[in-house]
Amino acid sequence: MMLIKKSFFLKFLSFVLLACFCATAAVADSRLIPPDKIVYPKLKFELPKAERVVLENGIVLYIMEDNELPLVNVNAIFRTGSIYDPPGKEGVAELAAYLMRTGGTKKTASDQLDRRLDFLAASISFSMATDHATGDLSVLSKDIAEALDYFSQMIIAPAFEKKKLEIAVQLKIEDLRRLQDNPQRLAFREFNRLMFENDARGRLSTPKSLHAITRCDLRRFHQEFFHPQNAMFAITGDITRDQAINLFSKYFGAWKKGRVSEEAPPPKQTFTPGLYYLHKEIPQSTIVIGQFAPGKHHPDYHAFSVLDFIAGSGGFNSRIFDAVRNNEGLAYSAGSFYRARPAFGIFGAYAFTKTSSTLQALSLINGTVDEIRKKNVTPQELEWAKQSTINGFIFSFTSAEQIAWQQMRNEFEKMPPDYLELYRDKIEKITLDDLRRLADIYLNKTKNVVLILGDSKNFDEPAGDLPEPVLIKPQE
Partner 1 sequence: MKRNNLLLLAIFIFCLGFAGRALCFDLEGKVSKTKLKNGITVLLLERQVSPTVSLYIRHRIGAVDEDEGETGAAHLLEHMMFKGTKTIGTKNYAAEKKILDAIEKTGTALDREKQKGEKANAKTIAALSAKLRKLNEEHKKYFIPNEIDRLYTQNGGLDMNASTGQDVTTYHVSLPANKIELWARIESDRMLNPVFREFYTERDVVMEERRQRVETSPSGKLYEEFMSAAYAVHPYRNPIIGWPQDLPWLSPGAMRKYFEKYRAPEKTVIAVVGAINPTETLKLIKKYFEPIPASSAKPRMAEPEPRQTAERRKEVIFDANPMMIIGFHKPNFPVYEDYVFDVLETILADGRTSRLYHLLVTKMQIADKISVYNGLPGSRYPNLFTIFATPRHPHTNAELENVILQELERLKTEPVSEEELTMAKNKLRMEYISGLDSNAQLASILSYYEVLTGDYRYFADYLKNIDKVTPQDIQQAASAFLTKENRTIATLERKKD
Interactions with partner 1, residue window 243-302 (CB under 8 A): 281-284
Q: Which of residues 407-466 bind partner 1 (CB under 8 A)?
A: none
* Interaction of residue 30 with partner 1, rule CB under 8 A: no
Q: Which of 2, 5, 30, 34 binds partner 1 (CB under 8 A)?
A: 34
Q: Which of 157, 167, 212, 466 binds partner 1 (CB under 8 A)?
A: 167
Identity of the residue, 295 or 454, whose beta carbon is nearer to partner 1 in the bound complex:
454
* Interaction of residue 43 with partner 1, rule CB under 8 A: yes
Identity of the residue, 54 or 171, whose beta carbon is nearer to partner 1 in the bound complex:
171
Which strands make up the sheet holding 274-279, listed edge to edge?
Answer: 334-340, 345-354, 284-293, 449-454, 274-279, 470-472
* Contact stretch for partner 1 (CB under 8 A) within 111-119, 127-135, 190-198, 247-255: 111-119
* Interaction of residue 68 with partner 1, rule CB under 8 A: yes
36: closest CA among 380, 364, 426? 380
Identity of the residue, 41 or 299, whose beta carbon is nearer to partner 1 in the bound complex:
41
* Interaction of residue 392 with partner 1, rule CB under 8 A: yes
* Interaction of residue 48 with partner 1, rule CB under 8 A: yes
* Contact stretch for partner 1 (CB under 8 A) within 20-28, 226-234, 244-252, 363-371: 20-28
Q: Which of 125, 138, 243, 444 binds partner 1 (CB under 8 A)?
A: 138
Q: Which of 3, 4, 5, 45 binds partner 1 (CB under 8 A)?
A: 45
Q: Which of 2, 4, 42, 242 binds partner 1 (CB under 8 A)?
A: 42
Q: Which of 10, 53, 121, 254 binds partner 1 (CB under 8 A)?
A: 121
Identity of the residue, 68 or 468, whose beta carbon is nearer to partner 1 in the bound complex:
68
Identity of the residue, 53 or 121, whose beta carbon is nearer to partner 1 in the bound complex:
121
Degrees, nearest 5: CA angle 36-40-46: 125
**Shortest reach from residue 31's CB to partner 1, in Å:** 7
* Interaction of residue 171 with partner 1, rule CB under 8 A: yes
* Interaction of residue 326 with partner 1, rule CB under 8 A: yes
* Interaction of residue 354 with partner 1, rule CB under 8 A: yes
Tell me which amino acid residue 438 is.
Answer: L
What distance in Å separates the CA atoms of residue 240 and residue 171, rounded to the nearest whole number? 40
* Beta bridge mates, 274: 449
Q: Which of residues 328-347 bind partner 1 (CB under 8 A)?
A: 328-333
* Interaction of residue 183 with partner 1, rule CB under 8 A: yes
Q: Which of 44, 256, 375, 473 binds partner 1 (CB under 8 A)?
A: 44
* Interaction of residue 314 with partner 1, rule CB under 8 A: yes
* Interaction of residue 115 with partner 1, rule CB under 8 A: yes
Q: Which of residues 224-243 bind partner 1 (CB under 8 A)?
A: 238
Identity of the residue, 17 or 422, whose beta carbon is nearer to partner 1 in the bound complex:
17
* Contact stretch for partner 1 (CB under 8 A) within 52-60, 67-75, 407-415, 419-427: 67-75
* Interaction of residue 476 with partner 1, rule CB under 8 A: no
Task: Please give the size of the binding site for partner 1, defined by CB under 8 A.
Answer: 89
Q: Which of 26, 254, 422, 470 binds partner 1 (CB under 8 A)?
A: 26
